[in-house]
Amino acid sequence: MSKYQYHEVDMNAVVCHGPKDYRYQKVRRPKAGARELVIKIDACGICASDCKCHSGAAMFWGSNSTERWVKPPVVPGHEFFGTVVEVGEGADEHFGFKTGERVIAEQIVPCEKCRFCKSGKYWMCEVHNIFGFQREVAEGGMSDYMRLPSNAVVHRIPDSVSLEDAAIIEPLACAVHTVNRGDIQLDDVVVIAGAGPIGLMMVQVARLKTPKKLVVIDLVRERLDLALQFGADVVIDPSKEDAKAIVDALTDGYGCDVYIEATGAPIGVNQGLNLIRKLGRFVEFSVFGKETTADWSIIGDRKELDIRGAHLGPYCYPIAIDLLDRGLVTSKGIVTHKYTLEEWDTAIKVADSLDSIKVLLTPNAA
């Protein structure tokens, strides 16, 4: 029997039963237990990782059950926000929220017991439960309602932030963290590879760091045009232009100071190792669908690179919310499609195509 509480009524949800086996079905509506919240989902974005999980990418499913990142059956969705509709016993004091307020929970649900959680590095929690991938703590946001457990990291969203802007808080927090990992300086030439939704948010955030030059690489002209609107100085389509020649011309032949990899494609890694200068900072953000190989002698013997990973958006949600509230970052042009929860199948197909940038599910839209 589940340790969690449920109402004697059903709600609608998308449930992942396995690769390419997602179903729109009725499930029991969650009830707020002690120090828990229940939110009505206002919007849930579909991430590239959701698409890769749906298609059966190896990193999510592994070769056996012990290697699986995903533990079905589970309601997917980690880019969600919603309105508080239930406050469990003690939750008002614990979280400081009341019914009617809009909130967002960070993707990770820290165990609060491992060495990383205890040292403040909660985003690297050893247990690593993330909404929408495992049921151990809570389901994801592709549903009408969602329970936020007592160890969730929850933030308030001002009423002044639009639905579309609120829906990109999670990926924007990831973008902020990634850009911060690049330690961008005023005289840096920065290359961002990949102008997908998070890449375009990285462009907006990196522009606020005022680097000497901001270069964006992508294969889709419409996305490159949007990058220019968001502050990129130079955009490159590597299928038609010589990216190395362009970056070398901007840097006296040395290469870029910072390379942020956000393509999710193995070629983006090798491209970066080619474009970056000696002693440069290479920031890897992407979730790859398969293993990626590179010439590691470039990293050590030839260039002595500073390789930095970027995972989730720790301590960056308040920053993301503030940037959106002040109009310094926007979802305009990024959020391209909205679908009802019942239209989830179409939504995932569109999200996994070049016909969209960011796709939202809006379960409780009027």
Q: Region 329-333: what's the mean pLDDT?
A: 98
Q: Tell me: the pLDDT tens digits for 272-330?
A: 999 999 999 999 999 887 788 999 999 999 999 999 999 999 999 999 999 999 999 99
How confident is the model at residue 66, as a pLDDT?
A: 66
Average pLDDT, the chain: 95
Strand 189-193 versus strand 213-217 pairing type: parallel
Q: Region 254-282: what's the mean pLDDT?
A: 97
Q: Tell me: the pLDDT tens digits for 59-87?
A: 787 777 666 778 889 999 999 999 999 99
Q: Tell me: the pLDDT tens digits for 203-246?
A: 999 999 999 999 999 999 999 999 999 999 999 999 999 999 99
* Rounded Cα distance, 176 and 232, in Å: 16
| Residue with the two structure tokens 């990193």 | 59
Matching CATH topology for 5-168+331-361 and 174-309? no
Q: Region 161-190: what's the mean pLDDT?
A: 98
Q: Tell me: the pLDDT tens digits for 81-125?
A: 999 999 999 999 999 999 999 999 999 999 999 999 999 999 999
Which residues in the chain belong to E strands, given as ranges?
5-18, 21-31, 37-46, 79-87, 102-105, 108-109, 129-130, 145-148, 154-156, 189-193, 213-217, 234-236, 256-261, 276-284, 306-309, 335-339, 358-361
* pLDDT tier, 4 (very low <50, low <70, confident <90, very high otherwise): confident
Least confident of 10-24, 51-65, 87-101: 51-65
Least confident of 33-37, 71-75, 167-171, 239-243: 71-75
**Residue ranges covered by each domain of the chain:** 5-168+331-361, 174-309
Q: What predicted TM-score, i.e. pTM, was given to this entire model?
A: 0.96
Please answer whether residues 280 and 258 qualify as being in contact, where contact means their C-beta atoms are separated by less than 8 angstroms: yes
Share of the chain above pLDDT 70, in %: 98
Q: Is the pLDDT of residue 8 over 90?
A: no
How confident is the model at residue 1, as a pLDDT?
A: 40
How confident is the model at residue 95, as a pLDDT?
A: 97
Please answer whether residues 256 and 189 qualify as being in contact, where contact means their C-beta atoms are separated by less than 8 angstroms: yes
How confident is the model at residue 366, as a pLDDT?
A: 64
Task: Extract the tokens encoding 328.
Answer: 């310094």
Phi and psi torsions of 21, nearest 5°: -125, 75
Q: Which fold has domain 5-168+331-361?
A: Quinone Oxidoreductase; Chain A, domain 1 (3.90.180)
- Indicate the burial class of 349 (C-beta count within 10 angstroms; 0-12, 13-18, 19 or more): middle
**Among 114, 135, 175, CA closest to 324:** 175
Report domain 174-309's class: alpha beta
